[in-house]
Amino acid sequence: MVWFLVAYRKIKYMLKNSELFQEYVRIKDFFKIEFGLVLPEKLNQANTKRLEKFIEVSGGLNGSLKLSQHKNQVPDEKLLGLISLFTVNHTAFFRENKQFEFFKEKVMPNVLGPNFEHEKSELRVWSAAAASGEEPYSILFTMLDYFHENGCKYTGDILATDIDIKALNIGYHGVYRQKKIEGKISALNQRYFQKHTNGNLQIAWDLRRKVLFRWLNLNCDQYPMKRKFHAIFCRNVMLYLSQESREKIIKNLTEYLYPGGYLFLGISETNLVQRSDMRSLGDSIYQKDY
C-alpha cells in the first residue's frame, strides 16, 4: 500500500509539472510575440512558484489573454498580473551614476544653453523602462540640482513608462524603504523626501507630480506620444528582449529623439545601436545626428 501511495504522488507530481511546463511554454511564446521579452527556456524554482501562484489566482492563460487592438492601451487585469510575475524590476537610485553625471554636465547645458530663460526653454526626458520609479526620480533630482546651481527655476517634463503596472504604482506614490535611499541619495537631495509610515520615506507631492507615470508596451508598432524628447533613458531592458525587438525598439526610440538628442542604454548593453544617424559617446550613451 505504501509503494502505491508513493507511486501515485510521484505520478501526480509529474503530471502537475507537465501542465506547468505546457502553460509556461504558452506564456513564454506570448511574451516574446507581444512584448519582445525572452523568458528562460526552463522553469526554475522561482518561476515555478510564480506560475503556480498565477494559475491559482487567475486560472492560467486558457487562451483568453489578448492585448487590446491598440497595443499602447493598458491590457486587462489578468494580463497585468502575469506581467508583474515575470518581469525583472531590479533598479536603484542613481544606478550607473556616471550616466547621470554626463546628463548633468553635458546634456543639460547642451540642450538649454549657457544663458537659458526658463520661460522659453524646456527639457523633455523619457524614462522608457521606469520600473518602480527610481530612475525617473534620479533624473528629476539631477535636473533640480542643475537648476539650483544655475539659479534658475525648474523647467522640464519627465515621462516614465513601463509594462509592469504594479511597479509604476510604486513610482507614482514615491514611497521607498530608507535602506534604498541611504548611500544613494546625497544629503542635498534628501530634502526632497518626507517621513512616511513604517519608517519609509516618500518623495514630496510637488515633485512627484513632475513625473508622469504611464503604462506602455515598447514593443508596439507606434507610440502614443506626440512630441519628441531631448534625452531618452532605456536602460537594462534590452538584454531581456529578442534581437528583432531590440532593433525595432531602438529604431522607434531614435525617431522620438530631437536632432542632437541623447539615448542612454544600460552600461552592459554594448554595441546594440548600429545606426548611421546615431554616434556613440561611450558608456552606452548615443547622440542623434543634427
Nearest-angstrom CA–CA distance, 104 and 51: 42
Average pLDDT for residues 33-58, to the nearest whole number?
Answer: 77
Look up the CATH number of the domain holding residue 135: 3.40.50.150
Same domain, 144 and 76: no
Same domain, 187 and 283: yes
In a domain, 69, yes or no: yes
Same domain, 120 and 169: yes
In a domain, 91, yes or no: no
pLDDT tens digits for 83-96?
Answer: 887 787 778 899 99
Same domain, 176 and 50: no
pLDDT averaged over the chain?
82
* Order of all β-strands in the sheet with 175-176: 175-176, 201-203, 193-195
Same domain, 78 and 147: no
Cell triple for residue 69? 487592438
Domain count, the chain: 2
Of the pLDDT bands very low, low, confident and very high (cuts 50, 70, 90), residue 69 is: very low
Average pLDDT for residues 185-208, to the nearest whole number?
Answer: 84
Which is higher by pLDDT, 161 or 46?
161
Q: Residue 71 has what pLDDT?
A: 52
Kindly tell me if the per-residue pLDDT of 68 is higher than 60.
no
Same domain, 221 and 109: yes
Same domain, 31 and 150: no
Largest CA distance in the chain: 87
Which residue segment(s) compose the domain that 73 sits in? 2-86
Same domain, 25 and 104: no
Average pLDDT for residues 47-75, to the nearest whole number?
Answer: 59
What pTM does this model have?
Answer: 0.86
| Boundary of a domain, candidates 63, 86, 109 | 86
pLDDT tens digits for 134-177?
Answer: 999 999 999 999 988 888 877 888 999 999 999 999 999 999 98
Strands (E), the chain: 123-127, 156-162, 175-176, 193-195, 201-203, 211-215, 229-233, 257-264, 278-282, 285-288
